[in-house]
Amino acid sequence: MAKVLVGVSGGVAAYKAVEFVRLAVLAGHSVRVIQTPASLRFVGRATFSAITGAPVLVSEFESDPSRGCWPGEELPEHAPISHLALVENADVFVVAPATANLISRVAAGSSDELVSAAVLAANCRVLVAPAMNNRMWENPATVANVATLRERGITVLEPGEGQLASHGEAGKGRLIEPRELLAELDSAGGRSDFRGVRVLVTAGGTREAIDPVRFIGNRSSGRMGAALANAAASRGAEVTIICANSSIPTSSDVKVINVVSAAELGDACDQQFPNCDLLLMAAAVADFIPTAAADQKIKKSEGVPTIGLTASPDILAGLAGERRADQTVIGFAAEHGGDPLANARTKLKSKQLDALVLNDVSVADIGFESEENLVTFISADQELELARGPKLDVAHSILDQIKILGTNPQKG
């Protein structure tokens, strides 16, 4: 069972957070609650304190009688700084309800009260359960703030639809029901199941110079790789991401190495691969590279140039071929046309991978540059289509499958 930190902000739905905390405690989780000052207008701290059996904090300036610990734990001699200690010790941080205001403070990186300060300091998995009026939920400001949170690796749950707090109004914006929130918490698992696992992710798309201003590139945005890095980090992994021309933000505890070309990506992989337990090779690497890049910009006046191409070495196959027995290697394949599954199976074998994540990019609205993805996880003995969803959710499903695969990165 998990050590759960619950952050309650000031909306009518705070009453549903009481039920959620009660259910979480009944399910066996150990829970601590922190509240924004505004939330006290809806639910007092005595309620949460009685249910959790632990003190409830509202300000970062008040001292924590439990010194950042959960019920039953031995207190340290030194009183820690609450917003740092609580998120450091928690397995999962659930913010419910999260008002539009709280979400905007988190998106801005603000830390002017305890709950947003704790989100800013969190290196555990963070689930945000929004609750607000439907017009506020649909406002482009909130839409952008939610997208920012998701890009940074925070799981923002979709609010429910139905009757809202203001009389006669209905729409999307209700806090999801306490039982559903508990299910989300359980699937987030209070997870530290990748703790101690060193994960190397490659992301983005390489660029191969034709001349100093032109290149051959591809449409990979790096979103899927960033989501994989964030998902693994939130589950306790030590993550390094090699980013090819992608500026999608990753959580602060992910180490980032930026590269441009396939050759640079290959060099970075050669350096980092020996230090990893699990390689997630999500980068779109150029298959063909201009034979010789021109030193100066090719002049249009000189007519249409002929650009000779050479095949670029398959980095993934090279790494997989020389890996240690304790390393797990996962490839990614964007297929368009032909028989995607058959092609993927061939790659799984020829590149000697433990599994391959197939992305059929001929399907509209998924894959390259999009927020959502739909992938098939292919290993020696199975082909499993994972549920379509935001890339962070898909990333967690991929990690779940890697665990089930039962190869090497099972330290937790």
CB 206 → ligand C5P: shortest distance, Å? 8
218 assigned to active site: yes
Q: At what angle do helices 140-151 and 100-107 cross, to 10 degrees?
A: 50
CB 217 → ligand C5P: shortest distance, Å? 14
CB 338 → ligand C5P: shortest distance, Å? 11
Helix or strand (DSSP H, E) at 373: strand 372-373
* Residue 64 or 314 with smaller CB distance to ligand C5P: 314
* Residue 164 or 319 with smaller CB distance to ligand C5P: 319
End-to-end alpha carbon distance in the chain: 14
For ligand C5P, the binding residues (CB under 6 A) are: 262, 281, 283, 285, 287, 312, 314-316, 331-333, 347
* Residue 238 or 314 with smaller CB distance to ligand C5P: 314
Burial 175-198 (b: 16+ CB within 10 A, else e): bbebeebbebbbebebbbbbeebb
Helix or strand (DSSP H, E) at 239: strand 238-244
Separation of alpha carbons 38 and 8, rounded Å: 9
CB 332 → ligand C5P: shortest distance, Å? 4
Q: To the nearest 5 percent, what fractions of the chain are helix, strand and coil? A: 35, 25, 40
Using a CB cutoff of 8 Å and minimum separation of 24, what contacts does 213-219 make?
213/297, 214/297, 214/298, 216/286, 216/288, 216/289, 216/290, 217/245, 217/286, 218/284, 218/286, 219/284, 219/368, 219/369
String of DSSP letters for 151-189: HTT-EEPPPEEEE-SSTT-EEEEEPPPHHHHHHHHHHHT
Separation of alpha carbons 69 and 89, rounded Å: 7
CB 349 → ligand C5P: shortest distance, Å? 12
Q: Which amino acid belongs to residue 317?
A: A
CB 131 → ligand C5P: shortest distance, Å? 40
* Residue 5 or 242 with smaller CB distance to ligand C5P: 242
* Residue 195 or 349 with smaller CB distance to ligand C5P: 349
Helix or strand (DSSP H, E) at 358: strand 355-360
Q: Which of 218, 230, 245, 359 is catalytic?
A: 218
Separation of alpha carbons 21 and 27, rounded Å: 10
* Residue 295 or 369 with smaller CB distance to ligand C5P: 369
CB 261 → ligand C5P: shortest distance, Å? 11
Q: At what angle do helices 391-405 and 223-234 cross, to 10 degrees?
A: 60
CB 315 → ligand C5P: shortest distance, Å? 4
* Residue 210 or 281 with smaller CB distance to ligand C5P: 281
Give residue number: closest CB to ligand C5P: 316
* Residue 18 or 281 with smaller CB distance to ligand C5P: 281
Separation of alpha carbons 181 and 77, rounded Å: 35
Tokens of 236: 């306790």
Chain CA centroid to CA 271, Å: 25
String of DSSP letters for 247-285: -----TTSEEEEE-SHHHHHHHHHHHGGG-SEEEE--B-
**Which residues are designated catalytic?**
218
